[in-house]
Structure 1
Amino acid sequence: MIDLRRIRVGVEVSGRIQWYEGLRVKASGTKYANPLQNECTVSIDGLNATTRNMLLTETSPYNKSKQPSRLILEAGRVSTGVFRLFVGDIVSAEPSSPPDVTLTLKAKTGNGSARDIVATSSGAMSKLSEISAGVARDCGVRLDFQATDKNIANWYFCGSKLKQVERLQDGGGVKAFIDDDVLYVKDEAGAVKGRIKIVNQNTGMVGLPKATEKGLDVTWLIDGESSLGGTLRLESKFNPSLDGDYIIEQLKFDVASHDDPFFYQATCKRA
């Protein structure tokens, strides 16, 4: 029996989430294990005119609401349920031309924080973990601090709230990035603890892994939540020379409810 796919899209407006499922949906995006904003594009067919116009109005960049509308993308299988692929602030909503009116939503992680300016400073010495907690609080996300704690002298920042993540990475000598609604801070050479993905022919690997200058690119069927920044353990039957542990630096996803794509594609470096 075929285990059918499930893809559902949530749009959060003024704190209320409306879910859309059972429609023709295509979605793709890229996540980065660095301060770059994760991005996602979702196309939905089959919405009635009232719903489509409501979404276009509420998610318009000209809407005067101070709270940005959010996009939530979940995918999975009928037998196992759905898991979260992406969460971000909607930056644009556009309809296509008739007769097949498709609504395309584009979103970026933490885009609402990119518009807000903040000025922060600390004493002569501050712990990196305390500074990280302040950055997470300003960006409205949870903190997962896994780096070696250290003292930072004369911390000062003035700019957009989201830019603090980049400043944190540079000033602390760590890797800092936001994945959905969590700020991860880890040692530059290490992987995120608790995130490990074993990729082989039995876990859905698609095609053959390709060696790159720093590591490899590999594709597999989507089967769980993001493992961005974590460990990828490759077990290749046809190219065993690439076997071993890698750190996922970039994670692309491509899903469709009525088409072939349902993949993760990871760009990794050697652990």
Structure 2
Amino acid sequence: MSFTRKKINLTFKLGRDTNGVQYSFDGKYDTVTVSGLRIQVTIANAGAPSMGQASLIIHGLTPSLLNQLSSMNRLEGGQVSTRFNQLLIEAGDEATGMSLIFQGQVAVAMPTYNNAPDVALQVTAYAGLFEALKVAPALSVRGSVDAAVIMQNLATQNGYMFENNGVSVILSTPYFPGSPKRQMEACANAANINWSLDNGTLAIWPKGGSRGGVVQTISPETGMIGYPAGTPAGGVLVRTLFNPHLHYGAAVQVESSLPFANGKFVLFDIAHDLESETPNGQWETSFSGSVLAL
């Protein structure tokens, strides 16, 4: 296996205030792209209700950019405020290209001076954070309606793509108050289905099933690290070289020399641990999978 230079690209995009006015960096632009720097990223997704979380340490920012990014969630008086400030994370190399592996809202962005003069920026972001805090009118429908239609409408209203993997459950006169994310969760619970906010997509699929798409094969030949471990519930814990095509709720084909770690599993906990511009840095994906019913 050849070694390639690992890359992580970050895009920070400021949101708007409650009056629809666009925030900006220094009154000039609303988007900043960071690339070519030493960045440590951990992305974890264990599904609803928390969804995905990204934790980053960014080295090598200019003092000006460090100050701008660390002030994203601060008002003029210094108070911290949650805004619709988006973070997109892409990872890859020259051989495989770049893939989007996280899209969410910035909750924390602050400098750390522990290793000065190497001042780094620590960032924490969550998928669906803004939708969890946003004020929205209660969702109410008279009569019968397909849960998939409700979820598709919620996705469209909140700027998400929609992915339906075979869900068609009729609800009778549903009433879902709360934030958009709370409404998504309530609808999924009422329909007894799985759901996920993942990389800008609201996905739904039946309980006991999985999301569609190409089934990735994880084996020693495709990058499996070490041996899989078992879980008390009969599932598997697997480490592999970074694979951006593994998603929460997706099916995966595991092949190994261990009898319990062969077959199709559905991912219910997945993490990417990545380091760019770092010799021998981490570049792997780990996941837990439960046996997929045939």
Separation of aligned partners in 2, 1:37 and 1:124: 31
In the other structure, the counterpart of 1:229 is 249
For the residue of structure 2 that corresponds to 1:131, the secondary structure is helix
Separation of aligned partners in 1, 2:157 and 2:135: 10
Identity %: 22
In the other structure, the counterpart of 2:284 is 263
In the other structure, the counterpart of 1:26 is 40
In the other structure, the counterpart of 2:229 is 210
Q: 2:192 is aligned with what amino acid?
A: G
- Tell me the TM-score normalized by structure 1: 0.93
1:110 has 2:131 as partner: no
CA deviation map 1:2-26 (0-9, x unaligned) = 3221111111124843221111100
Separation of aligned partners in 2, 1:67 and 1:104: 17
Q: 1:266 is aligned with what amino acid?
A: F
Separation of aligned partners in 1, 2:171 and 2:154: 14
Superposition deviation, residue 67 in structure 1: 5.2
In the other structure, the counterpart of 1:147 is 166
In the alignment, structure 1 segments of 5+ residues that lack a partner are none
Separation of aligned partners in 2, 1:52 and 1:159: 36
CA deviation map 1:223-265 (0-9, x unaligned) = 333422111111103x133201000011111000115311111
Superposition deviation, residue 63 in structure 1: 6.6
Runs of 4+ in structure 1 off by over 4 angstroms are: 61-64
Report which of the two has the higher share of strand. Answer: 1
In the other structure, the counterpart of 1:78 is 94
In the other structure, the counterpart of 1:9 is 10
Q: 1:213 is aligned with what amino acid?
A: P
Contact 1:85 1:226 in 2 (8 A): no
CA deviation map 1:130-179 (0-9, x unaligned) = 11112213432111112331210110011111112221221011101111
In the other structure, the counterpart of 1:58 is 72
CA deviation map 1:34-92 (0-9, x unaligned) = 3322100111111111011111122437477x851111111111122110111110001
For the residue of structure 2 that corresponds to 1:247, the secondary structure is strand
Aligned length: 269
Distance 1:152 1:144, change over 3 A: same
